[in-house]
Amino acid sequence: MSEVLRSPSAARNRIDLDDPYCVQHWARNFRITELDLTIAVQQAGPLVQDVALLLRQPVPGSAEQQRETGLGAF
């Protein structure tokens, strides 16, 4: 059995363009199209932080994003 196991932390920190679910997930979180995400990953690399910097957006799910959207305040 040669099954590839993914590290949960790797899935949160990297964008895998070969995984349609991953592309859909990150495009939705960055609020951009899947094509725009693909272009951003090709330019910045697969790390979520690098893509966020290129897009000039906070990392989705980060404390900074929650402050900007008001999701973290009660």
Tell me: the pLDDT tens digits for 26-39? 999 999 999 999 99
Which residue would you say has higher pLDDT here, 39 or 9?
39
Q: How many domains does the chain have?
A: 1
Q: Alpha-carbon distance 41 to 29, whole Å?
A: 14
Q: Could you tell me the pLDDT band of residue 65, with boundaries at 50, 70 and 90? A: low
Q: Is residue 72 part of a domain?
A: no
Q: Is residue 10 within a helix (H) or strand (E), and if so which, with residue range?
A: helix 8-13
Q: Could you tell me the pLDDT band of residue 1, with boundaries at 50, 70 and 90? A: very low
Interior/surface letters 4-21, b for 16+ CB within 10 angstroms, e for the rest: eeeeeeeeeebbbeeeee
Q: Is residue 73 part of a domain?
A: no
- 3 has pLDDT over 50: no
Q: Is residue 20 part of a domain?
A: yes
